[in-house]
Copies of this chain bind each other. A is one copy, B any other.
Amino acid sequence: MSNRILHKGLKAKVMTAEEAAAMIPNGAILGMSGFTGAGYPKAVPIALAKRAIEERMRGKPFKVQALTGASTGPELDQAMGLTEAISFRFPYQGDAVLREKINAGIVEYQDMHLSHAGSLVRYGYYGKMDYAIIEVTKIREDGSLVFSSSVGANTAYFDVAEKYILEVNEWQDERLEGMHDVYGVTGRHGERTPIPIVKADDRIGSPYLKIDVNKVAAVVVTNNADRNAPFKAPAEVHMKIAGHILDFFDAEVKAGRMPKSLLPLQSGVGNIANAVLVGLNQGPFENMTSYTEVIQDGMLDLLDSGKLKVASATAFSVSPDGQVRFNKNIERYRKQIILRPQDVSNHPEVIRRIGCIAMNGFVEADIYGHVNSTHIAGKGIENGIGGSADFARNAAYTIFMSPATAKDGKISAIVPFASHIDHTEHDTMGIVTEYGFADLRGKSPKQRAKEIIEKAAAPEYRPLLWDYFKRAYAHPSAGRQSPHIFEEAFGFHTRYLKTGDMRPKG
C-alpha cells in the first residue's frame, strides 16, 4: 500500500487501473489532468486504450470524450489515439499519433484557448462530465489533494464531474507539496470576484484542493515518469531570433517604456523559447519575473543564476535531465515557483493587469500580420492554439517568432495570406525571424506589410511578396486598407502543394 494515501476511506478505494477503467462506460465524458507531458494520468488511460481493443473484438464500440488541461504524454493521447478510444478531444493536443487520427477525420478535436477550457466546461457546453481522472502526488489525511507536476484544468473537472478517479503517482517528488496555489474561478457569473493577483509571485489560494471524498470511485497507485522532450541546445538560427528579441528589449528599456527587470515573461516551449531564455541568462536584465504557462529548462537556468526571481505557471515542461536538477534543488525552487490552475495562469484579467511579454512561435504570418499558429497547409492541424492567444491579446508586448523558412527554403513563414488564422492583425505587435524584428506597433496594414517583408521575410522571398503586394495595391478591385488579389492569395500554398516549393521554378 502506498504511503501517499493518508485518508482512511480512500485507502479502501485502491484498485488496479484495469478495475478503474472497467467502470467507465462507452461514450463517457472524461476530464483528465495533464498539461504538456506533466501531471497526466498514466495508468487508467492505457487501461482504457486496451479496453477499446477488447470491446472492439467483441463487436462493441468503445469511445470516450477526452478533455484535459492541454497536451499529455504517450500513455494518454498516443495509447488512446492508437486504439481510437477517443471520439472528441479538447482543448489541446500534441501527440503525433492522435494528430494523425484527427487529420484523418477519425477524432473530432476542438482547439480552444486554454484559459477558456475550464469556464466552458463549467457552463456545461460539453455535457455532463462522468469522471475526473486526475494525477496527484499525495492524498492527505483530510482527503485534500497535493497535485503533481501540473495543475491545468483540474479544479474545473473536480467541480463538474460526477465521480473521481485519482492516480497517486509515487514517481512525483513529495516535496512538490506547497508549490501549488489552488484558486478556483467560480462557474457562476454574478458570483465572480476580482482575481487578487497584482504581481507574478502573489499567492492567493491554498496549496491543496479539498474534494468531496464520497465522489472518489477509485484510487490507482502508479510510479511513472512524466514525459517531456529532451532539451536541445538552440541552433544558430534560434540564437539569431533570440538576439533580435533581446535587442528589442534593450531598446524598450532605453526608451523608458520597460523597467530594467523587464515585464513578466511568458514564453512557449521549444528551441526559440529556449534560445531567448539562454540569451536572457547572458544578458543585462536582473530581477526578472515570469508569469507563464510552463516552466522549461531555460527558466530553471534563470532561477539558478538569480536573474529570475519567480516563475508562475500551470505546469512543468522540463527535460529528463532538467527533472534530475529540479528534484535536487526542489527546496529552493519551491520558494520561487508557483503552480496555478490554467484559468488563473492564463487569465486575461491578470495578464492585462501585470503586462506580460508574450513570446510564442508561429507557423506562418501574412504580410498584414495575421498569424497561423496551428495548421500546416497540405497536412492539417499540428497541435493547437494553446494559451498563445490568452497572452497575445492581453500582453503589453506580443511577439511571434519563427525561422523565416522551413525545408531548406522551400517553405516561407511569411506568406501573402495565412492559410489559417489564429491571431488577427489586431493582436500582433512583433513578428521575428532570424532576419529581424518587424515592429508592427502603431502601424496600418500597409505599413505592416513593408515592415514584415523587409525585416522578417527571407531575402529570397521578398521580391515575391513585394510583387504580390504591389499588384494587389494596384488591383482595381482591391480596397487599399489590406489589399489582396483573391485568385492569388494562397498562391504560395498551392505552388508548394503542387511542386514542393513555394518559390516558382527558374
Mark A residues whose CB is within 8 Å of B.
Answer: 88, 90, 102-105, 108-113, 116, 120, 123-127, 189-190, 192-196, 198-199, 255, 257, 259, 263, 347-349, 352-355, 370, 375-381, 385, 389, 393-394, 396, 419-426, 441-444, 446-447, 473, 477-482, 484, 486-487, 489-490, 493-494, 497
Contacts and interface: CB of A to CB of B under 8 A. Distances in A.
Given A396-B123, A486-B490, A354 B190 contact: yes
B420 A426 contact: no
A61 to B, nearest CB: 18
Contacts of A447: 108
B424 A421 contact: yes
A73 to B, nearest CB: 22
A176 to B, nearest CB: 29
Nearest to A106: B480
B123 A375 contact: no
B446 A108 contact: yes
A446 B105 contact: yes
Stoichiometry, copies per complex: 2
Contact of A396 (B189, B255, B347, B349): B189
Contacts of A446: 105, 108
A205 B124 CA distance: 36
Given A353-B349, A355-B190, A487 B490 contact: yes
A426 B422 contact: yes
A196 B198 contact: no
A144 to B, nearest CB: 27
Given A102-B481, A419-B486, A422-B426, A442 B126 contact: yes
Given A104-B480, A353-B194, A494-B486, A124 B381 contact: no
Given A108-B443, A380-B480, 14 more contacts: A88-B444, A103-B479, A105-B473, A113-B393, A192-B353, A193-B198, A348-B348, A349-B352, A349-B353, A375-B479, A377-B477, A377-B486, A379-B479, A380-B478
B263 A189 contact: yes
Contacts of A354: 189-190, 192
Contact of A192 (B108, B195, B355): B355
B424 A376 contact: no
Given A190-B354, A441-B125, A489 B487 contact: no
Given A352-B348, A424-B421, A444-B110, A480 B105 contact: yes
Given A124-B255, A125-B442, A199-B190, A480 B103 contact: yes
Contacts of A116: 426
A87 to B, nearest CB: 10
Given A370-B421, A489-B490, A497-B486, A477 B355 contact: no
14 contacts: A88-B444, A109-B444, A111-B425, A123-B257, A189-B396, A194-B349, A348-B352, A348-B393, A378-B479, A380-B480, A420-B482, A486-B490, A486-B494, A490-B490
Nearest to A429: B125
Most buried by B among A193, A194, A377: A194
A481 B481 CA distance: 31
A463 B328 CA distance: 63
A447 B255 CA distance: 49
Contacts of A443: 108, 110
A120 B352 CA distance: 12
Nearest to A385: B426
A478 B490 CA distance: 14
A424 B424 contact: yes
Contacts of A109: 444, 481
A494 to B, nearest CB: 5
B426 A481 contact: no
A170 B381 CA distance: 59
A360 B124 CA distance: 23
Contacts of A376: 479
A378 B487 CA distance: 12
Contact of A426 (B103, B112, B123): B112
Nearest to A498: B477
Nearest to A423: B424
A155 B363 CA distance: 38
A106 to B, nearest CB: 8
A104 B199 CA distance: 46
A155 B105 CA distance: 51
Contacts of A482: 375, 380-381, 420
Contacts of A493: 486
A380 B422 contact: no
A473 B104 CA distance: 9
A109 B443 CA distance: 8
